[in-house]
Copies of this chain bind each other. A is one copy, B any other.
Amino acid sequence: MSFSFPEPGAHEALEEGLAFTPKFDRDGLIAAIVTDAKAGGVLMFAYMNADALKATIKTGFAHFWSRSRGKIWRKGETSGHEMAIVEMRVDCDQDALWLSVDVAGTGAACHTGRKSCFYRAVKTGEGALGETLAVVDDVRLFDPAKTYGG
Contact = CB atoms under 8 A, between A and B. Distances in A.
A108 to B, nearest CB: 12
Contacts of A18: 120, 132-135
Interface string A109-150: 011101001111111111011111111100000000000000
Specify how many copies of this chain sit in the oligomer: 2
B122 A45 contact: no
Contacts of A15: 112
Interface in A42-79: 42, 44-45, 54, 56-58, 60
Query: Which of under 10, 10 to 19, 20 to 34, or 35 or more describes the interface residues of A?
Result: 35 or more
Interface in A1-54: 3, 15-20, 31, 33, 35, 40-42, 44-45, 54
Interface of A: 3, 15-20, 31, 33, 35, 40-42, 44-45, 54, 56-58, 60, 85, 87-92, 96-98, 110-112, 114, 117-126, 128-136
A123 B57 CA distance: 7
